[in-house]
Amino acid sequence: MSYLDYDALASTPLQKDPFDYLVVPNFVLGDKLQGIIDDYPQVPGPGSHPPSELDIHGNFAAVMKELDGPRFRAMIEEKFGLDLSDRPTMYTVRGYCRKTDGKIHTDSTTKVITVLVYMNQEWDADGGRLRILRSGDNLEDYVAEVPPHGGTLLVFRRSDNSWHGHEPFEGRRRAIQMNWVTDDDVVAHEQRRHRISTAVKKLNPFRKAS
């Protein structure tokens, strides 16, 4: 059983302005999205959380496994003209957004490809919509804006100009992030850092915004 619309991914062209990226609305199949949301793990607060510190099960576990599978990797390799066979993957899970999140950045140099899958049924807020930016100092100079809903897929190649960010938002904002990174040491370091952060947040419960 597949959770993902590979035909939609195959028919989506790679955008090259201002950097390599693609957006696939409804990449998670419509009849599967609610089941994944129902099984979405409880996260102890904002920020990125490693799966090892969360209750990963059911439909959520299944879609994570599929994203980490050979079919999805092969399609990303073809789209971006990359060989990812020797690049490890790293997952983090997000559930809530702070007003201070979304500042313009490019992602760290240890990331090769960033994959974001948005797990919110709908999105009415103006904030929290990720923007593909032309520069690192102007949130209004964007070429695309991605609402974080409906199982939308965003994939981009990390580069020195892969600027992105979003207007402030506070509240529930679910997203799976997967990265192909440079080597296993990156995975170990980043997952350890996120585990410590998650442990601290478990000791200091987050008052969830509605």
- Per-residue tokens: 89: 């993957």
Q: CB count, 10 Å around CB of 141?
A: 12
Tell me if 55 sits within 8 A of 42, measured CB to CB: yes
Residues 96-119: pLDDT tens digits?
A: 999 999 999 999 999 999 999 999
Structure tokens at 195: 């585990």
From residue 145, give the alpha-carbon distance in Å to each of 22, 135, 152, 195. Answer: 12, 14, 12, 31
Pair 142, 9: CB distance under 8 Å: no
How far from 95 is each of 118, 130, 186, CA to CA, in Å? 10, 15, 23
Report the C-alpha gap between 70 and 53 in whole angstroms.
25
In the beta sheet, which residues pair with residue 156? Answer: 21, 114
Q: Which residue has the higher pLDDT, 153 or 202?
A: 153
Residue-wise pLDDT tens digits, 57-84 = 999 999 999 999 999 999 999 999 999 9
What local confidence, expressed as pLDDT, does residue 202 receive? 61
- The per-residue pLDDT for range 18-43, each reduced to its tens digit, is 999 999 999 999 999 999 999 999 99
Residue 185 CB-density burial (10 A; 0-12 exposed, 13-18 middle, 19+ buried)? exposed
What domains can you pick out in the chain, each with its CATH number?
6-203 (2.60.120.620)
CA distances from 11 to 5, 14, 72, 126, 145 (A): 10, 10, 14, 28, 20
